[in-house]
Amino acid sequence: MHTPVSLSVSEPQAVADGEGLAVQITGAGLSDLAARAADCRLCRLAETRTQVVFGTGNEQADVVFIGEAPGQEEDRRGEPFVGRAGQLLDRMLSATGLDRDSVYIMNIIKCRPPNNRDPKGDEVQACNLWFEQQLDLLQPRVLCLLGRVAAQTLLETDAPLGSLRGRWHAYQGIPVWVTYHPAYLLRSPSQKKKSWQDLLTVQERLRGL
């Protein structure tokens, strides 16, 4: 079972890489942060990735969608959720009046794990340097977590996804809604209706903020 890993840190300033150097990130804008993350070698995934997959979308978006990690197509193209699962997410967003230009999409970790396995704890902790600063710069009003791994990691729980859906959570004061990962919906299309309702719930919350 995936072990949830805390993403909570207090004002990360720098982290030492394998050669004893430091990656300074305080005060960086999103484009600066992405450029620095592109050369990251803080964990073993740097050895097998094609490129870092930082994030995409509207930097002033009210809602940020967060998955667990890039897949093969994302690793090749350098953009999150662009494979079959990403295409389904695009269609679902469009059906609710949203698109990639009105939301922001990212993952907890920025590099593809070999064979699309779950991220390991030390990989999550290493990438937390980028994740926390990225989220701080985005300042979203709502987070929507896509899938079990993202939900368990961010919410620091081993509860199954089914028990996390259907109620609001919070992460560092930001309202959080949990829904199925689009890749799961490709395997279990009968659950699409629930995900549709989840997206409507997120939109309703945004209107009420």
Arithmetic mean of pLDDT, 148-170: 97
Which CATH fold topology does 30-208 show? Uracil-DNA Glycosylase, subunit E (3.40.470)
- pLDDT confidence of residue 22: 39
- CA torsion 96-101-104-107 (nearest 10°) is 90
pLDDT at 193 over 50: yes
Domain spans of the chain, in order of start: 30-208
pLDDT at 183 over 80: yes
Q: Which helix (H) or strand (E) holds 74?
A: helix 72-77
The count of residues in the chain is 209
Indicate whether this model's pTM tops 0.85.
yes
Query: Tokens 């995409």 belong to which residue?
Result: 56
- pLDDT confidence of residue 5: 53
pLDDT at 209 over 90: no
Percent of the chain with pLDDT over 90: 82
What is the token pair recorded at 6? 């805390």
150 close to 177: Cβ distance less than 8 angstroms? no
- What pLDDT band is residue 18 in, cutting at 50, 70 and 90? very low
Tens of pLDDT along 49-101?
999 999 999 999 999 999 999 999 999 999 999 999 999 999 999 998 888 99
